[in-house]
Structure 1
Amino acid sequence: SSCVLYRQPHAIPRFLALCMLHAIVLEKWCLKRALATGLRFSGTEALQLLPKKERALINGKTLAKYNEVVRNCAREKRWQAAVFLLDQVVARNLKPDVVTYTSAGVGCKNAHKWQRALWIFGAMKHEVLPDAVAYGMAIGACEKGLLWEGSLFLLSDMLHQSVAPNAFTYSATMSACNRATRWLCSLQLFKTLPSRKAVDSFVCNAAITACEKGRQWRDALHVLINMEALSIRSDRVSFNATISACDKAHAWDHALHLLYGMRAARCSPELVTYNATMSALGRAHQWKLAVGLLRSMPKSVEPDVVTYSVLIEALG
């Protein structure tokens, strides 16, 4: 199965071809492509995107100063400025490091310019060894581009390069699979995680979301229960996805139990939570419970069209 690609080096060639098509594995020209494509302004205009304080920093013309400004640009989704600064570092022969490339890539990824983020990652691989943060950036770009196979390839490449994946890279890969409706791949990856250190709330939530998409409500409950055993705090995403899985599987009693259990977990239900629970009740024609749940909703949670639609279904 392609889902376990990251543990099968012999399977890489097929995905290598795929990734080349999507400009994940790149030649040196890709940095020029990343720097040039879509930038419709001159260097002077690009500098105007930087506050005076940041322009003063790069006047020092040291890589450390450039990296500081590129990180700021990435954080604030100023991808054009981040790409321009990377271009300046290259032009000044300052030899960009993994921080420079990764920060510029994050800026592009955060601004939904995922193709450009992948071009930058590919260019980085020809100059410096990417670290776990850099791979996480590229995998996150694959997630935005729905390139689930690309995310699995990158996870495999991390192991090949002896770069240890972390919880973020695993959760991003699982999310990429979930978004591309490859929920089974996401679950298989979750079940093969190497250690407790690779698991956090984001990884667990990605696994629960995969269960929800696959209508695997028992598996979703299992992950949710195990979060407590692993001292990982469940949140609204955890409960909402599990309740939604129960709803799709007509397990209305479990959905209702989970909603009430949220309070014990110091997690306040929101409208999405109530709607998913009422939907489960509606499918089972448990109209009395549905009406009671509607009446028990706090004033801070206002019913919407979905709420009344599922209530009508319950009454029908």
Structure 2
Amino acid sequence: KGQQWERALTALRSMEGHGPRPNVITFNATMSACSRGRQWQRALSLLCELEGAGPRPSLISFNTAIGACARGRNWLVAVHLLRRASQGCLRPGAGSYAAAVQACGAGAQWRLALRLLRQAESALQEDPLPVHNAAISACAEGSSWPQALALLDGVALRGRCGLQGPDVLTYDSAMSACERGRRWTLSLLLFETMVQNAMLRPTLISYNAAISACEKGAQWVQALSLLGRASQCQEGPSTAGMSAAISACAKAKQHAVALRLSRGRGAAPLGRPAPSSHEKS
């Protein structure tokens, strides 16, 4: 998988030398391969070729380059590319802003991410939910859980006004922000709020975030309950969720249960916590 970008780049150069001449779609596909291979510098180089002698870059070209910068944690170049696209004849969409905000989050620039969100709200003609989600995720990266919750409240208000409300990713990002901010009770509250929404279906990522919150609070019984519910997902419980549940049991001194989990024997019996030291004596 890591070599796909090399093959894509070789094919592009072969077309340039022997024909047919590559078009903007070919360049975009090659840039995307470089992005997936975390070769953001090469993706930028291809964008420069498009702006020079190559075909005229499209909005997808800029979005791909911005996304490559996000993967490479280069927020400065990502924001610069967004501004260049805005100053040209292109109109950046929600995907453009979301990728730039994501890059800011990866670079621990959550305040700049919020400024870009405000710009998107003013400039976009489409629903900015992807940008909101990216901004909440940026707040999670910056451990700014109060701001993440404020953004979630704003999206929920939009939903009550007839616009698109929070989706699973919105809640997952907010839960992650609370968990990183050691507000595990808030993270679990968000999870239950999402579960009660008939329009939303928690993913394995949702369960992992909730179990991780239980681990922070040593809530071993709830962690095991969530682990069982996660098994109903198509992917089944993940290694990350299992590890967090084991850690929750260990923190609560439920070592026998933790051992059963680590050996893959399940969590039963849940109703019998290990006796405390004064019960043993």
TM-score, with structure 1 as normaliser: 0.68
Check 1:230–1:167 CA distance in 2 against 1; reply closer, same or farther (3 A cut). farther
CA RMSD, Structure 1 to Structure 2 (Å): 3.3
Q: How many equivalent residue pairs?
A: 255
Q: Which has the higher contact order (CA 8 A, sep 6+)?
A: 1
Aligned pairs for 1:1-316 (under 5 A) are 50-53=9-12, 55-56=14-15, 60=21, 62-92=23-53, 94-127=55-88, 128-193=90-155, 194-195=158-159, 197-228=164-195, 229-265=197-233, 268-285=236-253, 287=254, 290-297=255-262, 299=264
- Following superposition, the deviation at residue 95 of structure 1 comes to 4.1
Aligned mates of 1:81, 1:271 — CA distance in 2: 34
Aligned mates of 1:212, 1:268 — CA distance in 2: 22
The residue identity in structure 2 corresponding to 1:227 is M
Structure 1 stretches lacking a partner, 5+ long: 1-46, 302-313
TM-score, with structure 2 as normaliser: 0.75
- Following superposition, the deviation at residue 61 of structure 1 comes to 6.0
Do the aligned partners of 1:132 and 1:165 also contact (CA within 8 Å) in 2?
yes
The C-alpha deviation readout for 1:77-101, integer Å capped at 9, x for no partner, is: 3333322222222223854332222
- Following superposition, the deviation at residue 296 of structure 1 comes to 4.4
Aligned mates of 1:61, 1:283 — CA distance in 2: 58
The C-alpha deviation readout for 1:189-248, integer Å capped at 9, x for no partner, is: 112102274533322211111222234344323332333324433233322322232333
The share of aligned pairs that are identical, in percent, is 25
Aligned mates of 1:254, 1:202 — CA distance in 2: 22
Do the aligned partners of 1:166 and 1:198 also contact (CA within 8 Å) in 2?
no
Check 1:222–1:111 CA distance in 2 against 1; reply closer, same or farther (3 A cut). same
Check 1:120–1:55 CA distance in 2 against 1; reply closer, same or farther (3 A cut). farther
- Following superposition, the deviation at residue 148 of structure 1 comes to 0.1
Check 1:246–1:73 CA distance in 2 against 1; reply closer, same or farther (3 A cut). closer
Do the aligned partners of 2:168 and 2:201 also contact (CA within 8 Å) in 1?
yes
Partner of 2:272: none
Q: Is the deviation greater in 76-85 or in 292-301? A: 292-301
Structure 2 stretches lacking a partner, 5+ long: 1-5, 267-275
SS of 1:50 mapped into structure 2? helix
